[in-house]
Amino acid sequence: MDRTERFYKIEMLIRNRGSVSFAELMDELGVSRATLKRDLEYLRERMDAPIVYDRDSNGYSMRPDARDPRQTRHELPGVWFSEPEIHALLTMHHLIEGLDEGGVLARHLQPLLDKLHGMLGRDDAEARALIKRVKILSAARRPVVGRHFELIGSAITLRRRLQMSYWVRSRREQTERSVSPQRLVHWRNTWYLDAWCHGTEALRRFALDAVRSARLLELRAKEVPLKTLEAEMDAGYGIFSGTRLHWASLHFSAEAAQWVQHEQWHPRQELTPHDDGGLTLRLPYGDPTELVMDILRHGSQVRVLAPASLVKRVAGELQAAAARYAAPQR
């Protein structure tokens, strides 16, 4: 039983029995006297638990709420976190601090984060030392303008349409879009908006860092069923959707297979191991853009087997890359 489980059990025993002696708590928890003293002190001083010693019953009980003697004000979460889960939530804290340009999420979550901070150490110094040892590295993050993020979030919440100026990188031009926001998506350190575009009359995915300006409209947003949204936007590979799905077949060498066999490229992927240690990965994709980028990062350790169009696309990218190195340096 780890420390957080003991905290939960201490409160449960006291609540269920009304009063529990020190000896009974030691026996139920299977801990030493010193450990139980530390746990009780921690619950009272760090977790604000209203646990008091009752001389009449020679046991520990909950101090009643002054407004209603039958109730106590302190409640541990219904689902208790283990210490690894607490560390995972602090990892989320680091991510929120890095992703939320305007600090909106951090402000709303601060009470929860303060409580988690208290659970991590016996005192502030220990908790802060542990927090400093959780480091999140975010490569190639594309920052989003804080006011745009808040405005788009509000549009989703209020179910209102949004007018925005959007930079289309593939055509290098700015466009005007009237959209009905459906959901926010975070993928590989970048925020995206899935929305119904009223200009094209279709679902589209927009990179939030490419939004140049945005404003709420008084018009009600068009509602797209979640199943429709998932079917059109999530079926393919990565962040790029496609109207038609294809299946890619990729052969990885034994060297690359050591990592690939533990990775999920797509929920519907199929892995076939080979006797030489290599493996074949099959997965669906719509637009090949992101899949090609991920194939290329494995260099000579992967070969595209099918379909022919993907083989041609990857081979062309490799030949073009090799040609750049073969050309005289300027």
DSSP 145-208: -HHHHHHHHHHHHHTEEEEEEEEETTTTEEEEEEEEEEEEEEETTEEEEEEEETTTTEEEEEEG
What mean pLDDT comes out for the span 111-120? 62
User: Which of 109-123, 141-155, 239-253, 261-275 tops mean pLDDT?
Assistant: 261-275
Q: Evaluate whether residue 250 is within a structural domain.
A: yes
pLDDT of residue 23 exceeding 60: yes
Residues 163 and 215 placed together within one structural domain of the fold? yes
Residue 62 has a pLDDT of: 85
How far apart (Å, rounded) are the C-alpha atoms in residues 26 and 38? 12
Of the two residues 140 and 204, the one the predictor is more confident about is: 204
Scanning the structure block, which residue is given the tokens 């719509």? 286
- pLDDT tier at 315 (50, 70, 90 boundaries)? very high
Residue 95 has a pLDDT of: 60
Per-residue pLDDT tens over the stretch 259-291 = 999 999 998 999 999 999 999 999 999 889 999
How far apart (Å, rounded) are the C-alpha atoms in residues 181 and 184? 8
Residues 177 and 214 placed together within one structural domain of the fold? yes
Residues 218 and 155 placed together within one structural domain of the fold? yes
Tokens matching residue 92: 């989320």
Residues 188 and 218 placed together within one structural domain of the fold? yes
Residues 169 and 223 placed together within one structural domain of the fold? yes
Residues 48 and 87 placed together within one structural domain of the fold? no
Residues 224 and 152 placed together within one structural domain of the fold? yes
Least confident of 25-39, 225-239, 284-298: 225-239
Domain end, chosen from 110, 132, 154, is at 132
Tokens matching residue 203: 């679902």
Q: Evaluate whether residue 150 is within a structural domain.
A: yes
Mean of all residue pLDDT scores within the chain: 83
CB under 8 Å to 206, separation ≥6 — which residues?
164, 166, 177, 179, 192, 193, 195
Scanning the structure block, which residue is given the tokens 């480091």? 135
Residue 69 has a pLDDT of: 44
Residues 58 and 113 placed together within one structural domain of the fold? no
Type of residue at 288: P
CATH number at residue 34: 1.10.10.10
Q: Evaluate whether residue 76 is within a structural domain.
A: no
How far apart (Å, rounded) are the C-alpha atoms in residues 227 and 104? 29
Q: Evaluate whether residue 74 is within a structural domain.
A: no
Q: Would you say 239 and 285 are in contact if contact means Cβ atoms under 8 Å apart?
A: no
pLDDT of residue 31 exceeding 60: yes
Count of Cβ atoms closer than 10 Å to residue 309 Cβ: 12
Residues 253 and 309 placed together within one structural domain of the fold? yes
Domain end, chosen from 203, 233, 263, is at 233
CB under 8 Å to 44, separation ≥6 — which residues?
50, 51
Residues 291 and 222 placed together within one structural domain of the fold? no
pTM for the structure as a whole: 0.61
- pLDDT tier at 205 (50, 70, 90 boundaries)? very high
Q: Evaluate whether residue 188 is within a structural domain.
A: yes
Give the strands of the sheet with 160-168, arranged side by side: 202-207, 190-197, 173-187, 160-168, 211-220
Q: Evaluate whether residue 75 is within a structural domain.
A: no
Q: Would you say 317 and 288 are in contact if contact means Cβ atoms under 8 Å apart?
A: no
Residue 71 has a pLDDT of: 47
Residue 316 has a pLDDT of: 96
Tokens matching residue 16: 């269920």
Residues 153 and 228 placed together within one structural domain of the fold? yes
What mean pLDDT comes out for the span 26-54? 88
pLDDT of residue 33 exceeding 70: yes
Residue 77 has a pLDDT of: 47
Per-residue pLDDT tens over the stretch 155-197 = 998 999 999 999 998 899 999 999 999 999 988 878 899 999 9
Residue 9 has a pLDDT of: 85
Residue 79 has a pLDDT of: 41
C-alpha angle 65-71-74 in degrees, rounded to nearest 5: 70
pLDDT of residue 100 exceeding 60: no
Domain that holds residue 304: 246-326
**C-alpha distances out from residue 134 to 92, 131, 200, Å:** 10, 6, 45
CATH number at residue 220: 2.30.30.520
How far apart (Å, rounded) are the C-alpha atoms in residues 70 and 197? 56
Of the two residues 133 and 184, the one the predictor is more confident about is: 184
H/E element holding 213?
A: strand 211-220
Of the two residues 116 and 67, the one the predictor is more confident about is: 116
Neighbouring-strand partners of residue 165: 176, 213
CATH number at residue 278: 3.30.70
The single-letter DSSP state of residue 262 is T
pLDDT of residue 65 exceeding 60: no
Residue 147 has a pLDDT of: 81
Residue 176 has a pLDDT of: 96
Per-residue pLDDT tens over the stretch 231-242 = 888 888 888 776
Report the chain's C-alpha Rg in angstroms. 28
Q: Evaluate whether residue 241 is within a structural domain.
A: no
Tokens matching residue 232: 């059109």
Residues 10 and 43 placed together within one structural domain of the fold? yes
Query: How many separate domains does the chain show?
Result: 4
Q: Evaluate whether residue 68 is within a structural domain.
A: no
